[in-house]
Amino acid sequence: MVENVAAAKESSAQSLEADLLLSPIAELVTPWVDALPARGSAMQSVRRIQNAALAVRSGKISFVGTAEEAAREVRTGAHTRVLDCSKRLVTPGLVDPHTHLIFSGNRANEFVMRCQGKSYAEIANAGGGILASMKATRSASQDELVSLAQKRLQRMLEHGTTTVEVKTGYGLDRESELNMLSAIFALVEKSSIDIVPTFMPAHAVPPGKDREGYVNEIIADMLPAAQKLWQQCSPQVKRRLPHVFADVFCDEGYFTLEDTRRIFDHARQCGFSLKVHADEFANLGASRLATEYGAASVDHVLQISDEEIALLSKCDTVAVLLPGTSFYLNLQEHAPARKMIASGVAVALGSDYNPGSCHIFSLPMILALACLHLRMTPEEALTALTVNAACAIGRGDQVGMLRVGYQADIAVYDVATLEEVPYNIGLNTIAGVIKSGALVVSDNLTC
């Protein structure tokens, strides 16, 4: 469903001069839901305004409506920057709720192995996978990790991403995991993209450790040390971090359901919010556990059961689907998006950007894969990559919609309609990006 233009106008008293005005806009498209996260038919319920306008004041959206209405209601002056988007699409800035972008080295050799028919498990058993990235990441300094991540974040920004979750998980010992977490905290301070940290030493069992002993180490040592590191962050960083998450890879060959429960208990005691990698290769019951603990999200969920779908439909835990991973791994099956949406599950999308199983950082590309492989509509996919993705990382009341009072995170495209974004699969259609009201990518925008 697409709501009518007349209903889409939203404005506030225009007593203050706008800092930035986008007008006219060929088409403005935004999710428009009052009860978060969006689920069922509400994921399709976007507002589309042709010949639109959007105004920004002090980093927040102050007007959304038609260009004709803006001419009457938006106050402009000598200091107002006006952007002509008469041939362009405008959406909320894109939100990536699942990435592993802190790492060193690469796993290009695994791509070749995969092309030759090797499975994820076969590659891992041959010394590849997470443990291969562990070796390279352990040898990198914090400065090197920050520098590599900054380049990746800039590429993401240039493809429309304005908020991103970033996990540890390639250190797999106390020193290296804390080094990764420190690098993420440094990025929070330095980057124009909003960053949400996730502590994930439970990504794999490192060589030379038994699983139970390593879980005990995570609980007794690593989680409290991460909590202390978080508490010692500067006030500026703390203000930008309403949530820091802990995550567990609960799947066959990684961590058991009981491991996950124990880690969840202690992570929650340390003040972390919860996420889980669930049901990617086998169903161990992690999605059920996530609903029991009120986790912010369950991610992957290719093997989720109907019973767990029903449980998710009755709670606010978001299912983060990662079609780039199933595509990159050349899997025949994908997450059951249509069944989940029909059942009322809140569905989000993420990139799962990482060095091995999904080296895709472009969310417009993920939007296209969601349409092709998950059979989502462009409207549903946009909702999943904006407000629902924001809900999956605790930011749904701040970013993900173009509404008055929301943070002015805006993506501007070199196409005129939403459908042209997935249609141009593989092409970066982003013309400009606005973050908190500041133009941070502007090569193709003119005043």
In this prediction, residue 6 carries a pLDDT of: 43
Alpha carbon of 40 to those of 204, 342, 377, 395: distances in Å?
34, 6, 12, 20
What is the separation, in whole angstroms, between the first and last Cα of the chain? 33
DSSP bridge partners of 318: 297
Question: What integer is the mean pLDDT of 198-206?
Answer: 97
CA distance 242 to 361: 25
CA distance 105 to 359: 12
CA distance 377 to 4: 18
On whether the CB atoms of residues 99 and 351 are closer than 8 A, the answer is: yes
What digits encode the pLDDT tens for the residues 319-366?
Answer: 999 999 999 998 989 999 999 999 999 999 999 999 999 999 999 999
DSSP bridge partners of 194: 163
Asked whether residue 14 carries a pLDDT value surpassing 80, the answer given is no
Higher pLDDT, 148 or 1: 148
Whether the bond into 24 is cis, omega within 30 of 0: yes
In this prediction, residue 16 carries a pLDDT of: 78
In this prediction, residue 445 carries a pLDDT of: 74
What digits encode the pLDDT tens for the residues 410-432?
Answer: 999 999 999 999 999 989 999 99
CA distance 216 to 212: 6
Question: What integer is the mean pLDDT of 39-53?
Answer: 96
Asked whether residue 12 carries a pLDDT value surpassing 60, the answer given is no
- Tell me the average pLDDT of the chain: 94
Alpha carbon of 247 to those of 8, 250, 275, 311, 385: distances in Å?
38, 9, 5, 20, 20
In this prediction, residue 177 carries a pLDDT of: 98
Residue in 338, 202, 342 with CA at minimum distance from that of residue 276: 202
In this prediction, residue 4 carries a pLDDT of: 45
Asked whether residue 123 carries a pLDDT value surpassing 90, the answer given is no
What digits encode the pLDDT tens for the residues 237-278?
Answer: 999 998 999 999 999 999 999 999 999 999 999 999 999 999
Half-sphere exposure for 80 (CA within 13 Å, toward CB): 18
Full-model pTM: 0.95
Q: Report the share of the chain in percent with pLDDT over 90.
A: 86
Q: Which amino acid is at 306?
A: D
